[in-house]
Amino acid sequence: MRRISNVKLQKIIKIDEELNKIQDLDILMERILLDARRVTNAEAGSIYSVDGSQLQIKCSQNEELERDLPPNGKLIYAFFEYPISEKTISGWVAANAEPLMITDVYNIPEEAPYGFSADYDKKSGYHTVSTFTLPLISNTDQVIGVLQLINARDRKGRIIPFNRHDEPFVMHFASSATLALQRARMTRTLLLRMIRMAGLRDPKETGAHVNRVGAYSVELYEAWAKERKLPAKEIEKVKDTFRMVAMLHDIGKVAIPDNILKKAGLLEPEEFEVMKTHTWQGAKIMGDSESVMDSMAIEVALRHHEHWDGTGYPGHIDPDTGEWLEGMERTGLKGEEIPLFARIVSIADVYDALMSNRVYKKAWKEEEVIGSLLEQKGRQFDPELIDLFMEILPTIKHVQEKYPDQE
């Protein structure tokens, strides 16, 4: 027994080294789940996040069901939410902050405080037998999620109960999963805090504008992603973060002096040069919390004024100093050099800026705005994204009605 543990321990040290290299939190959670399943030889498993009074699936794997999927297909039952009632297995684990091993979910004694709702099996066509479910407990003793492993198998592929001796190893993965979940939450909290901060700096312009740009951007992303047939689950995940990231595109304006930011007339060229620094200043504000902040937020702040034809700004600069990079052309980024999310926000931002009154300009008529976007297709804007934007205009108009400017 002890020798087996030793081999497992060494494996885990190796796995940890690899996990430490993963930046993307979604990928990290998928890997943790996969590794936890490998160590216990579990056919399926999920990680849930506690979200208010719900358990929300963060990632989910099932080898048997995945075998029947087309290449690139993904499991679609991943949107499940369970109320954290103690009546379900994972609900009981979350509420009691205790791990639970079950030999056969269809033979839970009547008097047990939890039971198995066969919903999951019915929807997926899977047959759950043995489970091992652990709470994910934060360093402040809160249950922030649940890790569940399903159907352990022996060498011959027969389903067996989970092994008590595996418990310490699985606990180890549970603590990695806890850290990943906490990091994801920290990013979210920081983004929300920054959005509020930006609103305080310039309440008139930012409030509704920021909400609209966030909403237009996710609509345009969704249209783009559907055209590429990306899995619904992935689109949903990206939208969540992207909305906040798009709302923060102008966070760097907090570094621009009031006499420029709020100037009632046209900017002088020197003033506009100062204004242009809001791109890399924004990236820098977010880069300071690099360990938790999504790189998407940094890219969008830095690149939302780049033009498709290379005439935008800030171009090939060092985002720490705003200085041109040695050995690079002193131009804007061009075409697909500009990150997709920045190309999307660029359209959403300009559309909204032109449709609105600003301290320095009056709102344009809608036909003029559309005319200008079409005219800039392939110049300022990604042509494919402009076409998609025109297709979703009715939805865009809905968003506009939802977030009117306050006078």
Secondary structure, 3-state, 204-234: HHHHHHHHHHHHHHHHHHHHHHHHCCCCHHH
13 binds ligand C2E (CB under 6 A): no
- Give 44 or 235: the residue with its C-beta nearer to ligand SIN: 44
Does residue 166 bind Fe ion (CB under 5 A)?
no
Q: Is 117 in the site for ligand SIN (CB under 6 A)?
A: yes
Among 319, 342, 373, 388, binds ligand SIN (CB under 6 A): 319
Tell me which of 359, 365, 371, 393 binds ligand C2E, using CB under 6 A. Answer: 359
Q: Is 306 in the site for Fe ion (CB under 5 A)?
A: no
Which residues within the stretch 121-150 sit at the binding site for ligand SIN (CB under 6 A)? 133, 148
Alpha helices in 290-339 (DSSP H): 295-303
Structure token pair of residue 184 = 């994801």
Smallest distance from the beta carbon of 113 to ligand SIN, in angstroms?
Answer: 12
Q: Is 361 in the site for ligand C2E (CB under 6 A)?
A: yes
Shortest Å distance, C-beta 354 to ligand C2E = 6
Least separation in angstroms between residue 407's CB and ligand SIN is: 39
The DSSP output letter for 364 is P
> Is residue 313 near ligand SIN by the rule CB under 6 A?
no
d(CA 58, CA 148): 12
**Residue 266 binds to ligand C2E (criterion: CB under 6 A):** yes
For residues 197-216, one letter each, b for 16 or more C-beta atoms within 10 angstroms of the residue's C-beta and e for the rest, the string is ebbebbeebbebbbbbbbbb
Per partner kind, with CB cut-offs from 5 to 8 A, the member of ligand SIN, Fe ion, ligand C2E, none near residue 358 is: ligand C2E
**Separation of CA 313 from chain center:** 26
Structure-token match 């649940």, residue found: 146
Closer by beta carbon to ligand SIN, 317 or else 396: 317
The Cα 355–Cα 153 span in angstroms is 61
Element at 353 (helix H, strand E): helix 340-355
Q: Cβ of residue 323: shortest distance to ligand C2E, in angstroms?
A: 20
Q: Is 202 left (phi over 0), alpha (psi -120 to 50) or beta?
A: beta
Among 103, 105, 80, 90, CA closest to 136: 90
Specify the residue, 332 or 396, whose C-beta has the smaller distance to ligand SIN: 332
Q: Which residues bind ligand SIN (CB under 6 A)?
A: 88-91, 116-117, 119-120, 133, 148, 316-317, 319, 325
Q: Which residues bind ligand C2E (CB under 6 A)?
A: 263, 266-267, 275, 305, 349-350, 353-354, 358-361
